[in-house]
Amino acid sequence: MPHVELRGFGWRHAGRKAWAVRGVDLSIEHGERVLLLGPSGAGKSTLLAALAGLLAEDSGEQAGSATVDGRDPRTARDRTGIVFQDPQSQLVLARAGDDVAFGLENRGVPAAEIWPRVDEALHRVGFPYPRDRRTDALSGGEQQRLALAGALASRPTLLLLDEPTANLDPAGAALVRQALSGVRRETTVLVEHRVAEALPLVDRVVVLEAGGGVVADGPPADVFARHGDALAAQGVWVPGHPIAPVGRGTPGPELLCAEGLGYRHPGAERPALSGVDLAVRAGEATAVLGPNGTGKSTLALLLGGLLKPGTGTVRATRALAGTGTATQPPYRWRAAELTRHIGSVFQNPEHQFVTSRVADELALGQRRLGLPSTVDELLVRLRLDRLAGANPYTLSGGEQRRLSVATALATAPRLLVLDEPTFGQDRRTWIELIDLLAGLRREGAAIVTVTHDEDVVRVLADRTVRLS
């Protein structure tokens, strides 16, 4: 009996006209390691959720069948571990060790085995802190490692991984890949956009087409040799298909200046950030780099006027904010002024959604500022037009990321502060998003992007700032 079997499987979320995934026929044997590819919105995350037994019967409509060891996945959850795109959605307790132990306790693991298994899992993923580290003090990448430790600690026979290295620095991503390659007892289904790095971990590549089921299946070398050009054109990341740089910007006047900038989160033992000096100029793209936990996301919030500095200052110039607003630091601006001049994209896109429809999300800022509507144009430009009436929380991770970027662009700010803007994007939408940012830079906007995506640095960045 195959470990995983899907026959004509499809799923349509409640309230949606289009199917998230449809017509999937797939068998996975025990111990196989499968890399699941496909363009953004092809249903990869939905398929993983189905195999994990997380699609409730009353939350949508199913076609065909899905089984794990011959059972409905909803009754086989004790055999399955999953890591979601958003690690915060599966961290439930205040301390790291307790969070990993939580799943073991729920599964009835004997008490004497729990802490050794917790320590083993934390070590396996290279978690850099002791068990009592507060989960709310972790960076996004550190949370991702902790979520993976929680999945591995239960020793599942089926391991489902949705972009497990997406928010990790290169060293952290290498540790996770090492952890996954060290033990081969699990059947693994991996969704990953870092395809070249993931290939040594897998035996097989399966490619989904949006609404069309499986379009390629086989050993990685065979799939890419036979279908590589076509898959790249459809948006699949294919090794050996490089992306050309979009050119360099021409720095203009200074828009924002940070001096001696620092911040300590409430209750934290040490500052998240300290002693940062940074000038942001019009017509320039700056990439903020550094290992997980060095304060990159905190710096983005400070530059975006969303946190009050603990030490130092952030000053806007008249070139950004005019004569009135520039007399106040950005964190003291009214919300309308802030969104008019500075657009922010959070690491977790769901943290900035406030309406129940995609189109309303884009229209909100424009209506409040009395700006002409560009909603239809933004929807088309970021490939969200077919989702205009959808709830933002039902979108795929890549679609949510494009929506969060679109909401930041909607009010035409001159400064954009973006935290991992290319997360979850397929090759086609990645190129379109970078071209869009390059166009804004040519028009005089300043781009500050926190990123672990080396291609963003190579293709777009005019300069880099590295935190340590």
Domain assignments of the chain as residue spans, ordered by start = 4-234, 254-466
pLDDT digits 0-9 by tens, 371-426:
999 999 999 989 899 899 999 988 888 889 899 999 999 999 999 999 999 987 88
CB contact set of 353 (below 8 Å; sequence gap of 6+): 361, 392, 393, 400, 403, 404
Q: Provide the pLDDT confidence category of residue 358 given band limits of 50, 70 and 90.
A: very high
Domain 4-234 matches domain 254-466 at the CATH topology level: yes
327-348 mean pLDDT: 90
Residue 62, strand partner residues: 11
Alpha-carbon span 431 to 226, nearest angstrom? 23
Phi/psi at 352 (nearest 5 deg)? -115, 10
Of 70-84, 162-176, 449-463, the poorest mean pLDDT is in 162-176
Alpha-carbon span 288 to 451, nearest angstrom? 6
- Residue-averaged pLDDT of the chain: 90
Helix, coil or strand: residue 220: helix
| Record: fold of 4-234 | Rossmann fold (3.40.50)
pLDDT digits 0-9 by tens, 107-137:
889 999 999 999 999 998 888 899 999 998 8
333-353 mean pLDDT: 90
DSSP string, 371-437: PPP-HHHHHHHTT-GGGTTS-GGGS-HHHHHHHHHHHHHTT--SEEEEESTTTT--HHHHHHHHHHH
Contact 176, 151 (CB under 8 A): no
Of residues 315 and 167, more confidently modeled: 315
Contact 146, 138 (CB under 8 A): yes
Side by side, the strands of the sheet bearing 311-316 are 273-281, 254-263, 311-316
Greatest alpha-carbon span in the chain? 72
pLDDT (0 to 100) of residue 264: 92
Strands 204-209 and 33-37: parallel
269-291 mean pLDDT: 94
Q: Which CATH class is domain 254-466?
A: alpha beta
10 Å CB burial of residue 132 (0-12, 13-18, 19+) is exposed
Contact 36, 220 (CB under 8 A): no
Residue 248 tokens, joined: 């360099």
Q: Provide the pLDDT confidence category of residue 14 given band limits of 50, 70 and 90.
A: confident
Alpha-carbon span 262 to 275, nearest angstrom? 6
Alpha-carbon span 217 to 207, nearest angstrom? 6
